Amino acid sequence: MIDVQDQLLRRLKSEETFVVVVVQTGQQLKGIVREFDRETVLLESDGQQHYIQRTAVVTYTPAQKKF
């Protein structure tokens, strides 16, 4: 079975695309996807790393430019 979210995350990671990640609380995290697995996404922003539970993610939105 094809996992669309995994395909998107692979592309975002390989292209080092800046992304806005919105979580269930409404908080927006902006940065680059550095790693991911079945349960978490590692987002890097301004030299800081954020581990995000994939079940908490509402949307991934690729950004046009660096924040």
Inside any domain, residue 67: no
CATH number of 25's domain: 2.30.30.100
Rounded CA-CA distance 57/16 in Å is 19
How many domains does the chain fold into? 1
Grouping H, G, I as helix, E, B as strand and the rest as coil, residue 60 is strand
**Given a cut of 90, is residue 67 above it in pLDDT?**
no
| 33 CB neighbour count, 10 Å cutoff | 24
Q: Where does the chain show beta strands of DSSP type E? A: 18-23, 28-36, 40-45, 48-53, 57-62
Q: Which structural domain range is residue 54 located in? A: 4-62
> What six digits make up the tokens of 45?
């922003």
Give the model confidence (pLDDT) of 25-61 as tens digits: 999 999 999 999 999 999 999 999 999 999 999 999 9
